[in-house]
Structure 1
Amino acid sequence: MQYPEAIDYLYSRLPVFHRIGPKALKPGLGNTIKLCEALGNPQDKFRSIHVAGTNGKGSTSHMLAAVYQSAGYRVGLYTSPHLKSFTERIRLNGQPIAEAEVAAFVTEQQASIEAIEPSFFEVTVAMAFDFFARKAVDVAIIEVGLGGRLDSTNIITPLASVITNIGYDHTDLLGETLAQIAAEKAGIIKAHVPVIVGETQTETESVFKDVANSLESPITFSDQEYTVKDEGIVNGIRVVEVYHQQDLLLKLSLDLLGSYQLRNAGAALATVATLQPVLHVSSSAQRDGLSAVTALTGLKGRFQTIRERPRVIADTAHNQPGLAALFETIQSITYAKLHIVIGLVADKDRSKVLAILPETAVFYFCQAQIPRSLPADALQAEAAQLKRFGEAYSDVNAALVVALQTALPDDLILITGSNYIIAELTDL
């Protein structure tokens, strides 16, 4: 197969979560285990760091990859979903997997795929593990797709397990309380493998401690060990100071500007500190990596400015805690009027998301071109019930055109609500 044919095969034959939602999930780890057995168990042939969490797991994964790349390591990075190209999901030292590699894998594994009948995500996990093993990476950063315990990535035994935070998302699959969701995320903790938790939360702290203690896994809550102090944005870079206990450890310049990235940086640095005996990283490499995450790893869509005057910011926040963190950052920006271009998926609780949005903003409701997307007019009607008013548009680019025509130079346009909305932006 050629690359277009291989991608069409994967999309047409296998159920895809980002298109149809929970119906795409295949319960259990059995299919991934079978696929990897057919490949000679590549997941056992490289070192890894496993990253889960409700929000921030993608950014934290990219931060870790950038730090280890800056230290001279050969680094694999697996994340999902992609924004523009499938190849973004699997990276080696920041570079996406070659299209020819994808095509070759699908061609060679077609018989196994048709015999096992895995999901789209299960195939991509096996592809990533095979790629990292063949490329002999020093370490691979593996982002969980959904949850943890039953996620396809959870067949690895990593050097460290990282859980960024816990919030309400995918409650139909992971549980309706924070403790229940935490228990699913805690499923990535392995016996005797250190675990780093990014945020201490009253409802979840004991869950993580109980699981870690039962498995004799050393546990660190990074926000109890590290304080990341914001010094503000200077010349387009967020300047921070990192303290370990009371001692100044590092002064950093973060190219990821969202204030929520401070928490992710703390989790990443705690992970690097935990693994220093195995993967040594100098202070200068930590600084260099965190100052150039987007350049080193290709991360997009995290508080990303895509246009000036009016300033246009794209952010993939897509749930209540993620949007709360986004608007915390927005409050630190000076602007005349806020315009919000937003689209949401249909299979999530939207009332809490809509309630976070400021009533005073001008809204432009849109929809992504996938079956999961909530129709723009339905979103418009739901928002109006909560006194958030605006017009509905067929897609994000049409909505943005009108927002740009309406906004004044000193206004701010925010595009958010879904990974899939951001993915369809022409300007990204």
Structure 2
Amino acid sequence: VGLGGRLDSTNVITPQLSLITNISFDHKDLLGDTLPKIAAEKAGIIKSHVPVVISERQPEVEAVFTERARAMEAPIVFASDHLSLKAAGDGFDVYRDQQVWLTDIRPELRGLYQQKNIPGVLQSVVRLKMMGYRISEEALRTGIANVVSLTGLKGRWQKLSDKPLTICDTGHNPAGIQMVVEQIKATPHRKLYMVFGVVKDKDLNDVFGLLPTDADYYFCQANIPRAMDAYDLAAKAGAAGLRGVVERDVNKALRRANEAAGPEDLIFIGGSTFVVAELENL
């Protein structure tokens, strides 16, 4: 869905199955300022007698989903109760109820957060097959291995170029930023350059505490009314110990980062879906 769930326009559909990924803080002005409140909005997509898969069992919110499912008489399963991924070479092995189920799964989406998303997808496939859908292992592997080329999905730990390695990602809430920072740390590089912009309704207190302090930042803004002014962002970031310069235009900011970076450096573009969407070579 687009935003939340209960009041999202896509919620007019009665699906064959619903899937809800892990819950984290985002859009608190609209969805609520606690995880249970946000989960309640997400749970609004659970329909009467329609099976629902929850990707991750989170103690803070699991009761929200189980109670909603009970009220709607909807079969519910938490994917993390049954499925887990273990890194194996360039891919993953999938364990189902602690037994190896699928080996050498290689997702085209390379973000670390796929370790949380893929179990939900696979559990959904298990449920659909129980409902009579015919989905072969080959089709499953092909879908995961080619999800970008099949769907056109972009901006999910997407490599734009080498030397310097240039990556963009649309992660924009604290949970997403944390995963991005972990992946940056795991990516070999000499110096880090961050092209970074956010929307003005974003609570930045938690985000700033996650961002690398040893990076050079180029603060920018997407060309939309919701974008936080790049100078305001730079001032707030500076107060949090992040150093950088302002270049409002996203692509100009990237060009400046490219001019400063060496071949062994890493350039990251993110902070907002809208910033990534404006990249010319996406």
Q: Normalising TM by the smaller chain, what interval? A: over 0.9
Give the 3-state SS of the residue equivalent to 2:95 in structure 1. strand
Residue 232 of structure 1: how far off its partner (Å): 4.5
Query: Counterparts of 1:204-223 in structure 2 under 5 Å?
Result: 204-223=61-80
Kindly provide the CA deviation profile for residues 181-233 of structure 1, in whole angstroms up to 9, marking residues without a partner as x. 10111011011111100111111011111111122211111111101112243
Question: Partners of 2:116 and 2:248 in 1: how far apart?
Answer: 36
Query: Counterparts of 1:135-150 in structure 2 under 5 Å?
Result: 144-150=1-7
Question: Partners of 1:259 and 1:324 in 2: how far apart?
Answer: 10
Question: Partners of 2:106 and 2:87 in 1: how far apart?
Answer: 10
Question: Partners of 2:205 and 2:116 in 1: how far apart?
Answer: 26
Give the 3-state SS of the residue equivalent to 1:153 in structure 2. helix
Match of 1:332 in 2: 186
Give yes or no for contact 2:54–2:79 (8 Å, CA) kept in 1.
Answer: yes
Give the 3-state SS of the residue equivalent to 1:199 in structure 2. coil
Match of 2:28 in 1: 171
Q: Does 1:299 align with 2:164?
A: no
The one-letter code sitting in structure 2 at the alignment partner of 1:240 is F
Kindly provide the CA deviation profile for residues 288-319 of structure 1, in whole angstroms up to 9, marking residues without a partner as x. 11011111111111000001000000111111
Question: Partners of 2:70 and 2:33 in 1: how far apart?
Answer: 25
Question: Partners of 2:258 and 2:195 in 1: how far apart?
Answer: 11
The one-letter code sitting in structure 2 at the alignment partner of 1:176 is D
The one-letter code sitting in structure 2 at the alignment partner of 1:315 is D
Q: Does 1:343 align with 2:205?
A: no
Match of 1:258 in 2: 111
Give yes or no for contact 1:230–1:262 (8 Å, CA) kept in 2.
Answer: no
**TM-align CA RMSD:** 1.0
Question: Partners of 1:362 and 1:278 in 2: how far apart?
Answer: 53
Match of 1:387 in 2: 241
Query: Counterparts of 1:129-278 in structure 2 under 5 Å?
Result: 144-233=1-90, 239-251=91-103, 252-276=105-129, 277-278=131-132
The runs of at least 4 aligned residues of structure 1 exceeding 4 Å deviation read none
Give yes or no for contact 1:167–1:321 (8 Å, CA) kept in 2.
Answer: yes
Question: Partners of 1:295 and 1:423 in 2: how far apart?
Answer: 17
Q: Percent identity?
A: 47
Match of 1:353 in 2: 207
The one-letter code sitting in structure 1 at the alignment partner of 2:44 is G
Match of 2:229 in 1: 375
Kindly provide the CA deviation profile for residues 319-377 of structure 1, in whole angstroms up to 9, marking residues without a partner as x. 11111111122222111111111000001211211221011111110011111111111
Kindly provide the CA deviation profile for residues 374-422 of structure 1, in whole angstroms up to 9, marking residues without a partner as x. 1111100000000001000021111111111111111110000111111
Question: Partners of 1:151 and 1:298 in 2: how far apart?
Answer: 23
Match of 1:99 in 2: none
Give the 3-state SS of the residue equivalent to 1:254 in structure 2. coil
The one-letter code sitting in structure 1 at the alignment partner of 2:79 is S
Give yes or no for contact 2:82–2:98 (8 Å, CA) kept in 1.
Answer: no
Give the 3-state SS of the residue equivalent to 2:10 in structure 1. coil
Question: Partners of 2:136 and 2:182 in 1: how far apart?
Answer: 32
Question: Partners of 2:132 and 2:235 in 1: how far apart?
Answer: 54
Question: How many residues get paired?
Answer: 280
Question: Partners of 1:176 and 1:323 in 2: how far apart?
Answer: 18
Which protein has the bigger helix share?
1
Kindly provide the CA deviation profile for residues 249-268 of structure 1, in whole angstroms up to 9, marking residues without a partner as x. 11211111111112111111
Match of 1:118 in 2: none
Give the 3-state SS of the residue equivalent to 2:125 in structure 1. helix
Question: Partners of 2:177 and 2:161 in 1: how far apart?
Answer: 21
Gaps of 5+ in 1: 1-143, 234-238
Q: Does 1:423 align with 2:277?
A: yes
The one-letter code sitting in structure 1 at the alignment partner of 2:203 is D
Q: Does 1:308 align with 2:162?
A: yes
Residue 278 of structure 1: how far off its partner (Å): 3.0
Choose 1 or 2 for highest CA Rg.
Answer: 1
The one-letter code sitting in structure 1 at the alignment partner of 2:77 is T
